[in-house]
Amino acid sequence: FVLAVFVSKVKRGDNKQNRTDLAADTIRNYMVSAHRYLQLILGRNIDILDRHHGGKRDRYHPMLAQQISDRRRWYKPSEKKEPYTVDMFLALKRWLDRAPDPKSCFLGKFHCVYDWSRLGVFTGFRIGEYGQSTLRKGERYRRIPCDADVPLELRGMPIAMIAGDFEFFDKDFIRIPHSQLYSRHQRGEVLWLEIRWRYDKSPHNFVKKKFRVTGHPIFCPVDAAVSIIHRKTLLGVPVFEPIGVWSERSASYRFVSSSDVTEVMRASCDMAYPDPGHYMRLHRNQIVPHSNRVTAAVCLQRGGASNDDIAFKLRWHLTSVPTYLRDCFQAIGPILERAITGAMKMTFSSS
């Protein structure tokens, strides 16, 4: 009875996420955890199975099973995340190019998000890998825990990318110092970018991937990364702080957040599709930071990549791929498709 009341309260929103729309499997996990906790503190076994059920498979007690089955039967899945489209990037670039003060615009929020998003369609970044999502009180940015399981040199370091995670090379694969980066990029001498993932949600930390210059005015991972490093240099970001930064009206820099990305990319959707009846405007709320990964996945799929290839290149679990590809907008644009699929063929990985 106690567990049944607990499950009922979880369904009504008394849970860690304060949500009333949890999926059935999530509710079941809450119940299983509570069951184990009760057994632990009471020091005895608590049977939650239906012993009158004659089938081959075990079933939970009807007071529990009914609540979970009702949610599974009537649950409405959340709408799928939508990808970014080439029209959104084109509209955003036109808006940035018309800025009356180019330097302030370059240092600002919209240009910062533009650079990370155009790089992210190649890398499949998660927001936590370059920006900040949920911060604890007093935190400026998320840090790696100072736990015994963490190597000493990494404790307290930012989770998001720092300057040392980006390395650049010329045509002979000679490393280019960040101090020379902007000027040599202007001369066309920066050909390769290598990104290091110190922390990855997958089991593989310290993965490195190399990306080659494409020459495209928007969809070039090297150009986007140079822009990111140049911005952090102009803003004077210390070497061991995250490089996802922007500034407004010459104020101190801020770290880009998930809400910043959402704001800018939804604004680019409005610019690209002024008709409120367009599919992307109708699904505007499904444009989120994770759309980076959806965009990359859709491009790779349309370029002929298998689910295994997509999972490997974007550091996904294989089972996640069809989930993100199903029912999302597919007309992202042939320019973006060609840029990403072509770049991915020239991407190298190492651990």
Judge residue 255's burial from the number of C-beta atoms within 10 Å of its C-beta, 0-12 exposed, 13-18 middle, 19 or more buried: buried
Q: What is the pLDDT of residue 351?
A: 47
Interatomic CA distance for residues 269 and 255, integer angstroms: 23
Q: Which residue matches tokens 């599919």?
A: 279
pTM of the predicted protein model: 0.78
Q: What is the pLDDT of residue 77?
A: 63
The DSSP string of 152-164 is GGGTT-BSS--GG
SS3 310: helix
Q: What is the pLDDT of residue 232?
A: 96
Report the greatest alpha carbon distance in the chain: 78
Residues whose CB falls within 8 Å of the CB of residue 185, separated by 6 or more in sequence, listed in order: 222, 223, 226
Percent of the chain topping pLDDT 90:
43
The rounded average pLDDT for each run of 10 residues, N- to C-terminus, in the chain (351 residues) is 87 87 87 88 82 67 84 73 90 96 95 96 88 86 85 86 96 96 97 87 73 91 97 95 91 92 97 95 92 82 76 73 64 62 55 47
